[in-house]
Amino acid sequence: MHALAMIPSRDALIRLSAVLFLAAFSLADARGAPMALTLTSPAIKPQGQIPAKHTCEGDDVSPPLSFAGVPAGTKSLALIVDDPDAPDPAAPKRVWVHWVVYNIPPDASGLAEDAGRAGLPQGAAAGVNDYEEQGYNGPCPPIGRHRYFHKLYALDTTLALKAPTKAALEAAIEGHVLAKAELIGTYQKGDR
């Protein structure tokens, strides 16, 4: 065999370099490179429409949520769902709180659909929302399309609170947040 026939082509070398780079990158992640905290839902695409099932026009059940990338040292997770567009996105006057959950175990991979009523993970507790209820009340905008922020916090502590409001929870987590993730969905009455 001729010696020149054994030298790989330029294209083959580029492909091989790319494969080796990706393999090295994957190994670095597998060896413990920190992953960012994420919050996702099979029901809500980022910036997408919230299904009516999870609103006052449907079953008013909390959406399923998934967590990943919880940082080392996390002792608990907290979740706040709120609407900064109340009452009218064209002239917002306040942030309306739909759900407050705290002391979610750090090994929880998420919250099941209807977790507000069906049950939170052991140790987790619900705070008080702006309907003055402990639990989930879904989107019910009086006018226009509103944004609903689902905010997940990884904390370096568990919280000694009893049914806090959003304001009380935010005060308690100050200085204890290791990471934060956010999922935003939208809803307008009549969406199907």
Q: What is the pLDDT of residues 29-79, one digit of tens each?
A: 444 556 799 999 999 999 999 999 999 999 999 999 999 999 999 999 999
Q: Categorize the per-residue pLDDT at 89 as very low, low, confident or very high, splitting at 50, 70 and 90.
A: very high
- Residue 192 placed within a domain: no
pLDDT confidence of residue 2: 52
Q: Tell me the sheet residues that pair with 182.
A: 151
Q: Same domain for 16 and 46?
A: no
Q: Categorize the per-residue pLDDT at 18 as very low, low, confident or very high, splitting at 50, 70 and 90.
A: very low
Identify the domain containing residue 13 by its residue range. 1-33
Q: Give CA–CA dist 123/158, Å, rounded.
A: 10
| pTM attached to this predicted model | 0.82
pLDDT confidence of residue 111: 98
Structure tokens belonging to residue 171? 């005060």
- Residue 18 placed within a domain: yes
pLDDT confidence of residue 14: 41
Question: For residue 14, which phi and psi values (nearest 5 degrees)?
Answer: -65, -45
Q: Same domain for 181 and 111?
A: yes
Q: Same domain for 173 and 127?
A: yes
Q: Same domain for 123 and 179?
A: yes
Instruction: Work out how many domains the chain is built from and give that number.
Output: 2
Q: Tell me the sheet residues that pair with 149.
A: 82, 184
